[in-house]
Chain A
Amino acid sequence: MKFLHIQNISKSFGQTKIFKHINLELEAGKTLSILGRSGCGKTTMLKTISGLIAPDEGDIFVAGIKINDLSPNLRNIVYLYQEDLLFPHLNVYENIAFGLKLKKMDNEVIDQKVHQMIIDLELEGQGDKMPNQISGGQRQRVSFGRAIIINPKLLLLDEPFGSLDVETRYNMQQLFKRLVAQYNITSLFVTHDLKEAFTMGDTMAYMKNGDLKVYPSKSSFVNDRSTGMQDEISFWNNIKMFDNG
């Protein structure tokens, strides 16, 4: 069994089916990019995996352990929203240390880990600043740091760069890839941006109307016309031809 194993999970709200019979597997330390349009059920799926929403049926296994009946605080799965959701009453240092303090870790250990994380996030000298004193990109970094520092089994990212400008978004993507490799994080990365999904994921999945299709390789994702990848490639080829006259 792979590190993350999701078996046949479904969820409905009343008569509305949000997603049905989802199956996926993911190796430890890998990122699965899930591409899909708004409202296709991506967020509900992530919230179900994190334990914030109960599935109607199916099982979720992490590291071989069934976690269906565990409450969210016992799963060690962090769910990150599109918004950074920094706690406005805490400074950068305290925000990053938040999860460690919940675990009642020794203050010296917390201090050491947080300082290292601040360096890894390239936020030296920002520790004392309040969330409203730093930029959008920096806030998103703090949000990552706060999640990664508690060493989660699984990180669920729900369009985390959706509100950032193009340049900051690119920088954040690079930083995220570096941190994921450095801390050996297993993650599900949800986005509706085709290029971002391709850049961030080791493997790819496409979600449409509550159905999730996981591709065995990146090339199979590229070759599937329904993902829109072929249209994207054609578009850029046409631009190139236009440039060449």
Chain B
Amino acid sequence: MPKFRKVTLLLYVVMIMFPFFYLFLLSLSAEWKFPDLTPNYFGIKNWQQIFSSQSGLGTSFITSLFISFFVALTSTSLGFYVSRYISYHPRRHTMSMLAYFPYVIAPVVFGACMIYFFLKMRLFGTLYGVILAQSFVAFPYALIFFTSFWGEKIQSYEQLVATLGGNVMQGFLKVTLPLAKGMLMICFFQTFLISWFEYGLTSIIGVGKVETLTIKVFLFIKESNFYFGALSCCLLILPPLFLIYLNKRYVFNKIL
């Protein structure tokens, strides 16, 4: 490899990795005041406080994990099931268009429009309210995502299984599900990430009572607590990194 290309590649990697490296460095620091070149404290003190009730980071991390996992699981499974119904419906184009509706307006405005509904349902400021609000964004995404899966070919497979003697459940378990496995995993990852990084809707419907990790990041930044803000960001990156690894290990390689 020519030297120029090597240097370019190195610069490229440094540019991408630097923000993550810097955040990690910041999460290990404390009392780093201008114009000091190095922080007064450098160690794992901040990380040790993840599970302390004072920082609330551990609780936020688990809350976020629970919300995102639940939103991803329900959106993916429901989206898969409902998209089949829509794809085989005579008015599928109109119904598919409706799935784009939540993306026409900004999530914050969308959340504001839904406040009355959430108040009436007594879901305002609750965990279930946040889950439902995030599902309003994640579920249509899953619907749109799976539209490309259902088509004449899948229908032919389903019909073939039926004429070979299989009932609907056998057809679903032995053919449709294995064929959709890759797409189901990708959709789960995507909807998980949609929920994981969601801020606007969560802050409006959760009204500060449901502290997800993204809410926590903004709280720390507002308080000028950069070290805990950086620590929250590091925690925020962990699940997506894990999902990228799983995606590459079990989905992407198999598709190729």
Contacts and interface: CB of A to CB of B under 8 A. Distances in A.
B179 A89 contact: yes
B167 A73 contact: yes
Interface string A85-100: 1011100000000110
The 6 closest A-B pairs by CB, nearest first: A72-B162, A99-B164, A89-B178, A79-B163, A102-B166, A73-B162
Interface string A54-98: 000000000000000001111111110101010111000000001
A81 B163 contact: no
B178 A99 contact: no
Interface residues of B, number: 17
Contacts of A81: 156, 160
B19 interface: no
A186 interface: no
A85 B166 contact: no
Contacts of B164: 73, 78, 98-99, 102, 146-147, 150
Contacts of A47: 159
Given A73-B162, A77-B163, A146-B164, 18 more contacts: A51-B162, A51-B163, A52-B159, A52-B162, A52-B163, A73-B165, A73-B166, A73-B167, A76-B165, A78-B164, A81-B156, A87-B157, A87-B179, A88-B179, A89-B179, A102-B161, A150-B164, A150-B165
Contacts of A98: 164, 174
B98 interface: no
B185 to A, nearest CB: 14
A87 B164 CA distance: 13
Interface in B136-188: 153, 156-157, 159-167, 170, 174-175, 178-179
Interface of A: 47, 50-52, 71-79, 81, 83, 85, 87-89, 98-99, 102-103, 146-147, 150
A44 to B, nearest CB: 13
B96 to A, nearest CB: 22
A90 to B, nearest CB: 8
B156 A72 contact: no
Nearest to A87: B175
A219 to B, nearest CB: 34
A81 B163 CA distance: 11
19 contacts: A47-B159, A50-B163, A51-B162, A52-B159, A52-B163, A73-B163, A73-B165, A73-B166, A75-B163, A76-B165, A78-B164, A79-B163, A83-B156, A85-B153, A87-B178, A88-B179, A99-B165, A102-B164, A102-B170
Contacts of B165: 73-74, 76, 99, 102-103, 150
Given A72-B162, A73-B162, A85 B167 contact: no
B163 to A, nearest CB: 5
A71 B174 CA distance: 19
Contacts of B178: 87, 89
A77 B160 CA distance: 10
Contacts of A51: 162-163
A71 B160 contact: no
Contacts of B162: 51-52, 71-73
Contacts of A75: 163
Contacts of A88: 179
- Among A47, A73, A74, A76, which residue has the most Cβ atoms of chain B within 10 A? A73
A25 B157 CA distance: 29
A72 B163 contact: yes
Contacts of A77: 163
B165 to A, nearest CB: 5
A164 B196 CA distance: 50
Interface in B94-110: none
Contacts of A85: 153, 156-157, 160
A104 to B, nearest CB: 10
